[in-house]
Structure 1
C-alpha cells in the first residue's frame, strides 16, 4: 500500500481529520453553514464519503446536519471535549495553550485524589510496579531519552488512575495520555526533566506503596503544580 492510498477507508479517515482540524482551528467558524456539495468539491470525495465523515463529527457534537438547513458548525460547548481525537485537534489549533491549561486543571482535580485512593486500594503488584516505573522514569529523564520518558510517564499516570479503584478515574487515562503526548509534541515540556519532578514521581509511588494517602495526594498535586510552572515558563516565551 502506498502513501497515496485513496481507498474509501483511508479517504474517509483523511476527511474526518481535515474537517475536525478545520472546526477546532476556526477555519470553519462556529454557526457557519456548509453544504454537502461544497465539501465534496473541497475534499475531492464522493457524497457518501463526505456524509459519513460528517456523521462522525456530528457524533462528537461538532457538526449538526439538518434537512433544508445544511451542515452547521456547532459551538465548542457542544463538543465531546473528552474524546481523544477532539483533544488532539484542539492541541493542534491556535487555542493549544488554553486547551492544555484546562486539561491540566482537570488533572489537578482528579489525579491527586486518585493517588490518595490508590494508597489504600492498590494491589501490592501495582504499588511495586509504580516504584519500578518511577525508577525507570528517573533513568530516562537523566539520559534525556524523551520518547522513553513519555511512554513511561503515560504508563505511570495510567497505573495511578487504575489503582484508585474508581472506574471513572481509570477511564481518564486516554485523556492524560493525550495531554502528555501533546506537551511533548509541541515542545511544552523541558528537554531535561527537573530533578524535583522526577523525585515527586518517586514520592507518589513510595507513598502509595506504604499506604500513606495524604502524602500520595500531596506529591501528585506537586506534580500538577510543576506541570503548570513548566508550561507557563515556556508559553510566556512564545512557543511555536
Structure 2
C-alpha cells in the first residue's frame, strides 16, 4: 500500500528537542510511498494538564488539535504517549455529541509511527542498515494504552547488521511519567536508575525507543552518570543506511556514521 496521505503530529518534544528525529520519520514514510504534510495549528495535545488531573483544561487544546487534523486521512505520531492522548479525546466529550463524533473520527485515524508502518502500510523491512548491539525500551503508554507491543520489534528485527538484545524487565516504567518526574522526583530517580542498571546488563551500544519523553529521561540521567550508551529514537535507526562493505559506528550525537 502506498501513496497514502499522512499528516505528521510533531509533538512538543519533537519540535523543541528532536527536530532531526522528525526529519527521519518523514524520510522513512516518504520512502515507503507516503505523502507527508504537517498541518498548521498544531499545539500541545493537552497531556501534561490531563495527566495532572486538569481534565477540563485539556478540552481547549483537544478541540484545537481535532480542528487542525480534521481533514487528514491518517495521523502519524513519533510518540506512543502523544498518540495515546488522541485516543483519549472521545472520553473528553462524552456529553457533547458534535465534538465526540469528531474525536472518535480522529482517534480512528491516529497511529504511532511504527504501528502505522507495520499495521497500515504492511511493511516490516524498511531496508535499513545499522551495525550495533541494540536494546529496546518499550514505553508504558504505547504498550498499555495503545496496546502496541510488537511493531517496533518486528521493524528492528529486519535491520541489517543490528543485533537486538532483550532488555530485562522492559515492561517497567522509566520513571518519567510527565509531571510525575517533577512532582515525585526521588521516586522517579530510583525508577530510572533501575532502568539504567538493566540497560547496562545487556551490554548494548545503543538504547532505542519509540517515545522521545522516555528517551529524554533515560538519556539525560545516563549522561549525568557518565554512561557511554547512546540513545536513539527508532526512526533514526530505520532511516540509517550503509553501503555494502562499510562498517557502521555510532558517534557522540547518537547518529550512525559510515567509516
More helix by share: 1
**Structure-2-length-normalised TM-score:** 0.24
**Structure-1-length-normalised TM-score:** 0.26
